[in-house]
């Protein structure tokens, strides 16, 4: 948003307002059976207007896609690992995660609608988050104990320098997770522990003025 001109921001606000108006008007005028296809048709029209704004900033668009694509792939791997570990069926429906690397979709995205009326499940630890509510600092590790794959999430780290690593029971560092500034509120890592020795391991992280640790166990 900070790269848009005032005119573009005004146009984007108008697009969102128009879309909300159309969406509300459909409730009383379009039969429920036809509502989904009608909504898709209208959304495509509004989306094309946003694409013009995005395409006016080609370099920023390419940079955003380049940065977000590997993050999306990692998040998808995390979700797949959780499904496999817990024998959950694959999700055949498109989710917001599938389009997180699409700047046009992100500009059209309305967090007030997504969170305020019915909080949605976010992230691999199914943490509910309301609009404007900051993510609390913490470490989440699952599944526990781990056999093949484990996911480590470090939350509340936006705009902070973060160092994080995994240590074995003797205190030896066996896996560095992160050592850089974070532009995201949540960092997520999926590790293959199938070749690790059984035992207790510790995730240690430092960000801001916080030192946090959490143990996990590998059992095969």
- How many angstroms separate the CA atoms of 50 and 74, rounded? 27
| Omega of the bond leading into 3 within 30 degrees of 0 (cis) | no
HSE, side-chain direction, 13 A CA sphere, residue 189: 19
Sign of CA dihedral 132, 136, 137, 141: negative
The 10s digit of each residue's pLDDT in 190-212 is 888 888 999 999 999 998 778 88
Residues 6+ apart with CB under 8 A from 95: none
Whether 46 has a pLDDT exceeding 60, the answer reads yes
The 10s digit of each residue's pLDDT in 132-171 is 455 678 888 888 888 888 888 888 888 889 999 999 999 9
Q: Which CATH architecture has domain 127-218?
A: Sandwich (2.60)
Q: In whole numbers, what is the pLDDT of the chain averaged over residues? A: 77
Residue 188: which pLDDT band, with cuts at 50, 70 and 90? confident
DSSP string, the chain: -TTS-HHHHHHHHHHHHHHHHHHHHHHHHS-HHHHHHHHHHHHHHHHHHHHHHHHTTHHHHHHHHHHHHHHHHHHHHHHHHHHHHTTPPP--S--GGGGTT-HHHHHH--HIIIIISSPPEETTTTEE--TTPPPPPEEEEESSSBSSEEEEEEES-TTEEEEEEEE-TTS-EEEEEEEEEESSSEEEEEEE-TTSPSEEEEEEEEETTEEEEEEEEE--
Evaluate whether 158 touches 184 at the Cβ level (below 8 Å).
yes
* Residue of higher predicted confidence among 33 and 49: 49
Which among 119, 159, 132, 146 is positioned nearest to 220, based on CA atoms? 146
Q: Which residue has the tokens 């705009």?
A: 159
Residue 101: which pLDDT band, with cuts at 50, 70 and 90? confident
Range in 43-47, 64-68, 118-122, 162-166 the model is least confident about: 118-122
Evaluate whether 195 touches 210 at the Cβ level (below 8 Å).
no
Whether 64 has a pLDDT exceeding 70, the answer reads yes
Range in 17-26, 138-147, 178-187 the model is least confident about: 17-26
Evaluate whether 155 touches 137 at the Cβ level (below 8 Å).
yes
pTM of the model: 0.45
State the span(s) of the chain assigned CATH 2.60.40.1930: 127-218
Mean pLDDT of all residues in 182-197: 86
Range in 6-10, 59-63, 93-97, 164-168 the model is least confident about: 93-97
pLDDT number for residue 115: 36
């Amino acid at each position: 948003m900070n790269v848009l001109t005032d005119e573009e921001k005004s146009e984007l606000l108008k697009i969102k307002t128009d879309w909300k108006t159309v969406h509300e008007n459909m409730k009383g005028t379009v039969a429920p059976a036809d509502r989904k296809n009608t909504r898709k048709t209208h959304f495509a029209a509004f989306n094309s207007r946003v694409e013009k704004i995005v395409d006016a900033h080609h370099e920023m668009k390419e940079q955003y896609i380049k940065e977000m694509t590997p993050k999306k792939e990692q998040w998808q791997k995390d979700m797949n690992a959780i499904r496999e570990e817990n024998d959950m069926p694959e999700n055949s429906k498109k989710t917001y995660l599938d389009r997180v690397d699409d700047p046009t979709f992100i500009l059209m995205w309305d967090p007030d609608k997504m969170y305020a009326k019915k909080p949605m499940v976010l992230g691999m630890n199914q943490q509910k988050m309301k609009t404007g509510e900051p993510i609390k600092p913490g470490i989440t590790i699952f599944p526990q104990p781990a056999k093949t794959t484990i996911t480590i999430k470090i939350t509340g780290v936006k705009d902070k320098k973060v160092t994080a690593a995994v240590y074995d029971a003797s205190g030896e560092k066996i896996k560095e997770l992160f050592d850089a500034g974070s532009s995201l509120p949540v960092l997520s890592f999926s590790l293959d522990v199938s070749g690790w020795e059984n035992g207790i391991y510790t995730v240690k992280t430092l960000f801001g003025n916080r030192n946090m640790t959490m143990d996990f166990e590998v059992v095969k």
